[in-house]
């Protein structure tokens, strides 16, 4: 397996305020040897979820949630275990912490979605930013539990339910507003996960969307029905 040059390693380590040893001294275990990544989620950018035409807000929202879940998983799958728990800086979060926060938010927002406030009394948001699970397996289990709660709440809904009222921290939202609120929140954090994963993976990164200088090729595949835009 090709190695990341020391100059690239040093620049990445400096940019993210991560000990260079994580990339250089520990380079062998990060990018080769005993490094642990997760190949279950590795798919070419043009072989992932297809766009389905719909005028249903619910159907499209569920599709977008699934898309961003898969995007984060395909990024996390490329990150060696030690990097999952590495923070870019004192005021920044590791991928593991971001996952813990997202899962905590999902549990609170989507449990008993229609009948209880979205900010549950037993939620302590501040604790979501410290002490994440210590293994990839435990982290992904927490991640799945959060998403399962979301899908269990949304999948039974009808379009008529979009006009119903729910509350978040006591503030009234339509169901439509509550969905859109999280549909902007989760992709924000998925983008953070992807950025960190891309930096930590270095030259081993596999593009999640259309790679550089491949736009024409992708356009051709979409026109030919060989790929989709979502």
pLDDT higher for 32 or 146?
146
User: Would you say residue 13 has pLDDT above 90?
Assistant: no
**In-domain check, residue 229:** no
Which pLDDT score, from 0 to 100, does residue 14 have?
44
User: Would you say residue 38 has pLDDT above 50?
Assistant: yes
pLDDT tens figures, 108-131? 999 999 999 999 999 999 999 999
Which pLDDT score, from 0 to 100, does residue 31 have?
39
**In-domain check, residue 51:** yes
**In-domain check, residue 228:** no
Residues 6 or more apart whose CB falls under 8 angstroms from that of 213 comprise: none
Whether residue 84 is found in the same domain as residue 196: yes
Domain count across the chain = 2
Whether residue 25 is found in the same domain as residue 54: no
Whether residue 73 is found in the same domain as residue 134: yes
Q: Which domain holds residue 26?
A: 1-35
Q: CA 200, CA 197: separation in Å to the nearest integer?
A: 5
Question: Which runs of consecutive H residues, i.e. helices, occur in 77-122?
Answer: 81-84, 95-110
CATH code of the domain in which 177 resides:
1.20.120.450
Whether residue 155 is found in the same domain as residue 121: yes
User: Would you say residue 156 has pLDDT above 70?
Assistant: yes
Q: CA 182, CA 172: separation in Å to the nearest integer?
A: 15
Whether residue 51 is found in the same domain as residue 29: no
**In-domain check, residue 130:** yes
Whether residue 151 is found in the same domain as residue 193: yes
Whether residue 7 is found in the same domain as residue 68: no
**In-domain check, residue 177:** yes
Whether residue 11 is found in the same domain as residue 108: no
**In-domain check, residue 230:** no
pTM of the model: 0.80
Whether residue 132 is found in the same domain as residue 206: yes
Whether residue 92 is found in the same domain as residue 43: yes
Please spell the DSSP secondary structure of 118-180, one letter per residue. Answer: SS-TT--GGGGGS---SSHHHHHHHHHHHHHHHHHHHTT--GGGGGSEEEETTEEEEHHHHHH
Whether residue 82 is found in the same domain as residue 188: yes
| Three-state SS at 42 | coil
């Amino acid at each position: 397996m090709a190695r990341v040059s020391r100059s690239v390693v040093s620049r990445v380590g400096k940019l993210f305020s991560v000990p260079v040893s994580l990339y250089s001294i520990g380079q062998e275990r990060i990018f080769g040897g005993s490094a642990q990544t997760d190949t279950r989620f590795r798919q070419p950018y043009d072989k992932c979820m297809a766009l389905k035409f719909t005028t249903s807000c619910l159907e499209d929202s569920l599709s977008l949630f699934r898309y961003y879940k898969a995007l984060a998983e395909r990024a996390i799958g490329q990150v060696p275990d030690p990097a999952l728990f590495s923070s870019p800086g004192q005021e920044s979060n590791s991928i593991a912490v971001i996952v813990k926060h997202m899962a905590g938010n999902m549990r609170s927002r989507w449990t008993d979605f229609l009948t209880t406030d979205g900010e549950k009394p037993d939620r302590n948001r501040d604790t979501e930013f410290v002490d994440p699970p210590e293994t990839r397996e435990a982290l992904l289990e927490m991640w799945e539990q959060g998403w399962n709660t979301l899908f269990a709440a949304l999948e039974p809904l009808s379009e008529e339910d979009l006009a119903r009222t729910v509350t978040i921290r006591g503030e009234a939202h339509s169901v439509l507003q509550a969905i859109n609120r999280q549909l902007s929140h989760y992709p924000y954090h998925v983008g953070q996960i992807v950025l960190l994963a891309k930096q930590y993976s270095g030259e081993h990164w596999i593009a999640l969307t259309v790679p550089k200088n491949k736009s024409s090729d992708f356009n051709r595949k979409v026109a030919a029905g060989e790929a989709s835009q979502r």
